[in-house]
Amino acid sequence: MAATESPLIIALDYPDLSQALALADALDPARCRVKIGKELFTRTGPAAIDAMHQRGFEVFLDLKFHDIPNTVAGAVEAAADRGVWMVNVHASGGRRMMEASAERLVKRGLKTHLIAVTVLTSMSDDELHETGVSGNALAQVERLARLTQQSGLDGVVCSARESASIRELCGGAFLKVTPGIRPPMADQGDQRRVMTPEAAMSAGSTHLVIGRAITRAADPMAALADIERSLSDRA
């Protein structure tokens, strides 16, 4: 399978496999990775993963596991056995849950990247307070990133607004996978902590998750090319 140097991960948030395949067939695995999330996976099951692997894409399976340690470790192992490049859990599942998952991969010699979601990019500080968290999003992301690193995982999902702080706290090699990416003038939609692609890379994000800015664009390939251009202009 062709590994790519690109930081771009395209979120295939579609209700059926044919729409996901239509975009995948226009994309080039040398230029991006793809993400399969809850909607597509619940519709298609592992068939979507297999179809992307057949096309040469590395796959981020985004099912955000959040359960007791034994259950999540088993789910992470199952994902890795499918050969996915990356899988995620919720950091708020706690240290033992994350350690059990990381240890399972090590024990089996599986190379899948394991990362943890800190605070969803759709949440504002006020919404976070409503869930009982007293600090702001940045403080909670920092706390959970530290816990994630101590638990032996490879990185976090956070917003690009927190990437610089997490780079300082956890180092450059610790993955900072950032959704909530919006090109200038793009509709924010349900996201709250957003950044442009070039600002996100400058802030220290290692990977950018991009969904609707490409999948809902009138011309998805032109939208992707614009984003790639904005990143190479920055370099």
Ligand X SMILES: O=C(O)c1cc(=O)[nH]c(=O)n1[C@@H]1O[C@H](COP(=O)(O)O)[C@@H](O)[C@H]1O
Stretch 212-231 residues interacting with ligand X (CB under 6 A): 212-213
Residue nearest to ligand X (CB): 211
Residues 6+ apart with CB under 8 A from 93: 65, 66, 67, 69, 72
Q: Compare residues 11 and 166 and give the one whose CB is closer to ligand X.
A: 11
Q: What are phi and psi of 91, to 5 degrees?
A: -60, -30
> Could you tell me if 32 and 233 are in contact, meaning their C-beta atoms sit under 8 angstroms apart?
no
To the question of whether residue 111 is assigned a binding role by annotation, the answer is no
Residues touching ligand X, count (CB under 6 A): 19
Please classify residue 180 by burial: count the beta carbons closer than 10 Å to its beta carbon, then call 0-12 exposed, 13-18 middle and 19+ buried. Answer: buried
> Could you tell me if 78 and 105 are in contact, meaning their C-beta atoms sit under 8 angstroms apart?
no
- Beta bridge partner(s), residue 157: 117, 177
To the question of whether residue 71 is assigned a binding role by annotation, the answer is yes
Cα–Cα distances (Å) from 108 to 60, 73, 150, 209, in that order, read: 19, 12, 20, 28
Q: Is 11 in the site for ligand X (CB under 6 A)?
A: yes
Candidates 41-49, 136-144, 162-170, 174-182: pick the segment binding ligand X (CB under 6 A).
174-182
Tokens of 109: 């010699």
Q: Compare residues 102 and 116 and give the one whose CB is closer to ligand X.
A: 116
Q: Compare residues 114 and 209 and give the one whose CB is closer to ligand X.
A: 209
Mark 34-73 with x for binding to ligand X (rule: CB under 6 A) and - for no binding: ---x------------------------x-x---------
Q: Is 178 in the site for ligand X (CB under 6 A)?
A: no
Q: Is 179 in the site for ligand X (CB under 6 A)?
A: yes
How far, in whole angstroms, is CA 228 from its chain's centroid? 18
Tokens of 98: 């994350």
> Could you tell me if 27 and 10 are in contact, meaning their C-beta atoms sit under 8 angstroms apart?
yes
The candidate with the shortest Cα–Cα distance to 203, out of 160, 172, 153, is 160
Stretch 92-151 residues interacting with ligand X (CB under 6 A): 117, 120-121
Q: Is 191 in the site for ligand X (CB under 6 A)?
A: yes
Q: Is 209 in the site for ligand X (CB under 6 A)?
A: yes
DSSP code for 133: -
* Binding site residue list: 13, 35, 62-71, 121, 182, 191, 211-212
* Binding site residue list for substrate: 13, 35, 62-71, 121, 182, 191, 211-212
Q: Which residues bind ligand X (CB under 6 A)?
A: 11, 13, 37, 62, 64, 88, 117, 120-121, 157, 179-181, 191, 209-213
